Each structure stands twice: as C-alpha cells, then as structure tokens.
Structure 1
Amino acid sequence: MISQFVIRKARKEDETAVRHCAEHAYAQYVAAIGKKPAPMVADFSSLITLGRVHVAIDAKDRFCGFIVFYEKGDCFFLENVAVHPDMAGKGIGKQLILFCERMAKHADTTSVRLYTNAKMTANLSLYPHLGYRETERRHEDGFDRVFLESPCEKATCGPHTMPGGQDRRYSASSIGGSVTDRRKHAQRDFARQRLTYAKAPFVR
C-alpha cells in the first residue's frame, strides 16, 4: 500500500515530537557509544527557531520523522535525521534525505555533507548506497565521527512522484531569480508537496 506524507518546516509546537523521536531513534546506541549521541541532546528549540528543522507528517496528521539541515559555506550540512519508531521501514528517512538533497541543489550548493558516529554501523552501510562517500574520520566533541559527502550533481535528485502519478521537477533555470529567491521558491514549493514513498529500509 502506498502512503502519503507532507514535509514542512517544523513549528514551535513540533518540538516535543521532534525531541521524543530523536530520543527513541538513538537510544539504541547509548550503550555502544557510552553516552547519549549528540542528536539526543540537541537544542531543538533553537534549531526550529532558526528554520533548520523539517518534519514529515502523514495524511492523518501523525508525526513521522524529522530532518535537520542548513547551508554551511558552499554546501548543505545534514545534521540529523530520524524516523518515529512506529513509522520505521516505510522509506520516510530516505525521502527526508532526498528532500535535503533537492534543497541543496536548488540553492546552488556543491554538496550535502554529514557525519555519523563510528558505532552506528547501519548508517555506514546505508549512506554509501545513497551516494555518499566517506571523506574522513576524527574524534570531535567527545565522539568518534565518520564524515561523508554527496556532490549535488550526483545526488539522487530525480523528481518526487506526486499523487496521481504527476511528476514535479525543479531546476535553477526554471525557477529563475537570485540564489536567495530560488531557495525561497524551493522551500515553499517543496513544503507543499505531498510525497509518496514505497516501503524501504532505513536505520538511523
């Protein structure tokens, strides 16, 4: 069965759901890492205020997951992505990452960069399948982190499938205007899209 959900910017009232989602998604790694992973103690209130958090909401207005990303220099930095345990295995995490990649492409940035903890072996297996390559490993802020990158021109930037089979494609040339204008158009238009997803594994 195909389900539908909307990706939109998080609002102040979403903070509790985002925090609970992060706590549930990352709790499994506490024992292996020896302390709470960074996403479990993130300042989501500030991140939401800064407009860096997007959430996935299904047709029944249920919280499905969230992603944190922002522009950093010439790239987009994907800081955090998590799916509610009740919604796991439905491809939501992958669609959230694709959303970030599209936003990065239409903002004319060069790549999407991220890091994951070295103990999160499922992520180290997943991200290469999504087009990310490892760039370095280092100890930072008390964690052993693995850094990965996906160039925008090689990101999985195909069209989302809209309800009824209608495809929507966006390009910098078709949107027009300045980089800032294109970014605003992309943020507004993508936030309105209803995305369909097929069942696919995702572990974060």
Structure 2
Amino acid sequence: MTIEIREARLDEAEVVHHTIRAAFAEYEGKLNPPSGALRETPQDLIANMERGGGSVLAWEEDTALGSATYRFSDPYMYIGRVAVCPGARGKGVCKLMLRYLEEKARLQEVFEARVGVRLSIPANIAMYQRLGYETIEHQFYPDRTDSWYVMSKKL
C-alpha cells in the first residue's frame, strides 16, 4: 500500500468533510458533549483554509483514507480533526499525516505541535503518546461531563 499525504485544495473540502464524518461516526450519540467534528461543514473547513490554516488528505490511489486539519497559533501548530476512515486504521495513516504536518510546521519555523484529545477516548491518548506527544494541560467542558488533554510535541 502506497499512501500519499498532501495538502487539500479548496475544492476538496467535501472530501475532507467526508473523511471526518466517516471517522467520527462511531462517536455519534456516545460522547457528552457531542463531538464538534460531527457539526462541522465543508464551509467551516474552507474558512479555516482562507484564514491561513488548512487540511491534509491521505490518499491511496484515488481513495481518501484520512484527513487532518491544522492552524498556526503562535508559537505552535494546532492539529485537529485527525480522521482515519475505519477501513484504513492500523496502516500508519495517522502517523504519516502527523509527520507531514510536523514537517510543515518546522518549515514554517514552528517547533511545537499540539492536539486536543478527549479523556473518554483513551486509545487516542495512548496513540499520541506513542508518537511522542506529552500532556501539558487538562481542560474540562463547562458541564464537566468530559474533559480533554492538550498534548504537545516539540519538533
């Protein structure tokens, strides 16, 4: 399997949106509060791109396997909506997208990447830890039904 990671174009916002929906569908009705990823629209993704952020897509031939969004927030790159379609999980897609984005940050002379990871999804916390991310903050939703870690990796 050859996976290509590349920047998503504006006209691919629907593809990014589709991968996010496919990856986060398993959490629909299970997280409190619900994941904002399931409310996001292609227009939201385009707006992020127009503000200087963007998205990347992971492709195998003509099939989108995953996506991730990013934005620069001095002094770090925030990586969000990391989404791998269920059939592509376990194949290193997430790791490849993160490496691509981390290198993009370094090229912009940004030497820290951050992600937000819900505590109600402990497998994701463990995955980011394996990829070199460390917890730097513990944040709570207003109603305290769930919380998340802000995780950071020095680049």
Provide TM-score, normalisation by structure 1. Answer: 0.66
Determine if the alignment matches structure 1 residue 149 to structure 2 residue 149.
Answer: no
Distance in 2, Cα, partners of 1:105 & 1:45: 24
Deviation at 1:49, TM superposition (A): 3.9
Residues 30 and 119 from structure 1, CA distance in 2 versus in 1: closer, same or farther, beyond 3 angstroms?
farther
Deviation at 1:140, TM superposition (A): 4.3
Deviation at 1:35, TM superposition (A): 4.3
Residues 36 and 17 from structure 1, CA distance in 2 versus in 1: closer, same or farther, beyond 3 angstroms?
farther
Amino acid at match of 1:56: A
Residues 94 and 141 from structure 1, CA distance in 2 versus in 1: closer, same or farther, beyond 3 angstroms?
farther
Correspondence list, 1:40-79, <5 A: 40-42=38-40, 43-50=44-51, 51-58=53-60, 60-79=61-80
Provide TM-score, normalisation by structure 2. Answer: 0.84
Determine if the alignment matches structure 1 residue 106 to structure 2 residue 104.
Answer: no
Equivalent residue for 2:35?
Answer: 37
Q: Does the aligned pair in 2 maintain the 1:26–1:40 contact within 8 Å? A: yes
Q: Does the aligned pair in 2 maintain the 1:65–1:92 contact within 8 Å? A: yes
Q: Does the aligned pair in 1 maintain the 2:116–2:150 contact within 8 Å? A: yes
Q: Does the aligned pair in 2 maintain the 1:17–1:63 contact within 8 Å? A: yes
List gaps (5 residues or longer) in structure 2.
none
Please identify, of 35-44 and 108-117, the stretch whose mean Cα deviation from structure 2 is larger: 35-44
Q: CA RMSD in A?
A: 2.0
Compare relative contact order (CA 8 Å, sep 6+) and give the higher one, 1 or 2: 1
Distance in 2, Cα, partners of 1:55 & 1:99: 10
Equivalent residue for 1:86?
Answer: 87
Q: Deviations over 1:50-76 (max 9, x none)?
A: 451111122x21111111112110111
Q: Does the aligned pair in 2 maintain the 1:32–1:119 contact within 8 Å? A: no
Please identify, of 33-42 and 74-83, the stretch whose mean Cα deviation from structure 2 is larger: 33-42
Percentage identity across paired residues of the two chains? 21
Determine if the alignment matches structure 1 residue 19 to structure 2 residue 21.
Answer: no
Deviation at 1:124, TM superposition (A): 1.1
Q: Deviations over 1:57-99 (max 9, x none)?
A: 22x2111111111211011111221112222221111100111
Distance in 2, Cα, partners of 1:52 & 1:89: 24
List gaps (5 residues or longer) in structure 1.
153-204
| Matched position secondary structure for 1:101 | helix
Q: Deviations over 1:115-169 (max 9, x none)?
A: 11121111111111111110111124766221100011xxxxxxxxxxxxxxxxx
